[in-house]
Each structure stands twice: as structure tokens, then as C-alpha cells.
Amino acid sequence: MKTKDLIAEATSLPVEERALLVDTLLKSLNPVEEDIDRKWAAVAKRRLEELESGKVKAVPGDEVYNKMMGRFSR
């Protein structure tokens, strides 16, 4: 089967099957690394706890972006 035929067939699948196909293909390119995933989950949990406790303050994305653009546009 040629790639363009495979793509045509894949795009004709129902959305749930396309999502499964995409997920499977992406995992084949970037295999799951459970140890790294666990570490990122721990970081995310810690950061959420810091936000919820008030230990750190969230900064709006636009504010961060504008500050960075100001630093690099000089």
C-alpha cells in the first residue's frame, strides 16, 4: 500500500479510530518512558500544591510573553 493510499484510508476512519491511530503512531516515534513520566508527574503535583497553598503566585501567560519579548527585542 502506498503512503498516500494509507493516508486516504486513515482519514476516512471515524474520529475515535483516527485518534487511536495518531496516538499509536506518536508513541512509536516517542516511546513512553515511565521513569521520566513519573518524575514529570511529581513536578506537576508539587507545582500545583505550591499554587494552591499560595507559596507561589501564578503569572498570566501574556505578561510572561511580553516580558520575554522585551528582553530579547533589545
Q: Is 23 a domain residue?
A: no
Q: What range does the domain containing 46 cover?
A: 34-72
Q: How many CB atoms lie within 10 A of CB 46?
A: 11
Residue 38's pLDDT is 96
Q: Is 18 a domain residue?
A: no
pTM of the full structure: 0.52
Looking at residues 48-70, what average pLDDT do you find?
Answer: 95
Q: Is 4 a domain residue?
A: no
Q: Is 49 a domain residue?
A: yes
pLDDT in tens, 33-55: 999 999 999 999 999 999 999 99
pLDDT in tens, 6-25: 999 999 999 999 999 999 99
Residue 43's pLDDT is 98
Query: 58 near 50, Cβ under 8 Å?
Result: no
Helices (H), the chain: 3-11, 15-29, 34-53, 61-72
Q: How many domains does the chain have?
A: 1
Query: How far is the first Cα of the chain from the last one, in angstroms, to the nearest whole number?
Result: 53
30 pLDDT above the threshold of 90: no
